[in-house]
Structure 1
């Protein structure tokens, strides 16, 4: 089960900036689709109280909650945290890149860039100290993740399948099922991850 971990930052956007972006974008997408808080709560499986707190900028949602809200609205997480790419060429400065997860051992996940949903691609950079892990209950059907390990070794588990990706190597996983990333080694793990949610290709792979 994914733990709720507040949005924090390293060298990118500060917490208040990210929270404000999430609050504004969530409300904008919800009202554009004429969805009440009750209806969005039902679709996303997120409590109405949490939605109210997020829109009032007094709560920081976990990655799991952001993913549920994005799926329910038919947008990407990048759309909600305000780093989705604009048409043609678009620069996202380092100060605007949010860290959306920090672990109890100091691990982090930064959303570097992303496209708009519902078919979307996101690029993440993860850092996991020895013994750190992250668990997800799974993404919408048709979601794939591509990994490249820069340092250390990444242990990926999807359902009953397990894969160890060493430094310099890459891997691919279909992650519309419960999955886990872990650093079981003794050095800090650094890897980049591309998430592709392509509904029309849901039966591929």
Structure 2
């Protein structure tokens, strides 16, 4: 089974499981996530690989991390994630990419990401649930962090944190690659 097939199967199984644990009907989850009922059915039947945006919306609506939604090794006391097991969630033809390194559900979902943004590239995000916080540290280049429409330059060596319940984006307006590490803390579902 290819990595993509394994990811598709894990997502299908975990989405159905978490939807059931939350007591959400297909319609209820579709409404909460802003994703069509048909798309959720296709995902649960492992017939499609949704975009990162749809995956984020589903995880947010369920109150879990993307890691939990994609994970196929739940419940082990120590989980090591080797580089080849990290999940590349976003990429562009220019070579930019975001990789979900590891995450946990302890005291609410928490995710750790590695990002590379090539010059001229950008990634936008819809608002996450209220109470979601993002922390990031730029290790190379200068990131333009856009939160609620306001740009904030974040040069190498600088860290930032913000409430991610508003539209936000990560841009590289410079001429060299931006490298950063980001953690996302998501409040538990109510």
Give the match for residue 33 of structure 2.
Answer: 44
Give the drift of 1:186: 0.7
- Which of 171, 174, 182 aligns to 1:193? It is 182
Are 1:161 and 2:150 counterparts?
yes
Give the drift of 1:118: 7.5
Q: Deviation per CA, 1:46-93, whole angstroms, max 9, x where unpaired?
A: 101111111122222222212221222222211101178756532122
Work out whether residues 71 and 118 of structure 1, in 8 Å CA contact, stay in contact via their aligned partners in 2: no
| Alpha-carbon separation, structure 2, partners of 1:118 and 1:171 | 22
Are 1:61 and 2:50 counterparts?
yes
Work out whether residues 149 and 168 of structure 2, in 8 Å CA contact, stay in contact via their aligned partners in 1: no
Moved over 6 A (4+): none
SS at match of 1:157: strand
The runs of 5 or more residues in structure 2 that have no matched partner are none
Work out whether residues 85 and 114 of structure 1, in 8 Å CA contact, stay in contact via their aligned partners in 2: no
| Alpha-carbon separation, structure 2, partners of 1:87 and 1:15 | 22
Show the 5 A alignment for 1:38-187: 38-82=27-71, 86=75, 88-116=77-105, 119-187=108-176
Give the drift of 1:183: 0.5
Q: Deviation per CA, 1:96-129, whole angstroms, max 9, x where unpaired?
A: 2111111243311111011127722110011111
SS at match of 1:105: coil
The runs of 5 or more residues in structure 1 that have no matched partner are 1-12, 200-205
Give the drift of 1:193: 0.4
Q: Number of aligned pairs? A: 188
TM-score (norm 2): 0.88
SS at match of 1:135: strand
| Alpha-carbon separation, structure 1, partners of 2:185 and 2:73 | 14
CA RMSD of aligned residues (A): 2.3
| Alpha-carbon separation, structure 2, partners of 1:83 and 1:130 | 34
Give the match for residue 9 of structure 1.
Answer: none
Give the match for residue 3 of structure 1.
Answer: none
| Alpha-carbon separation, structure 2, partners of 1:84 and 1:116 | 13
SS at match of 1:60: coil
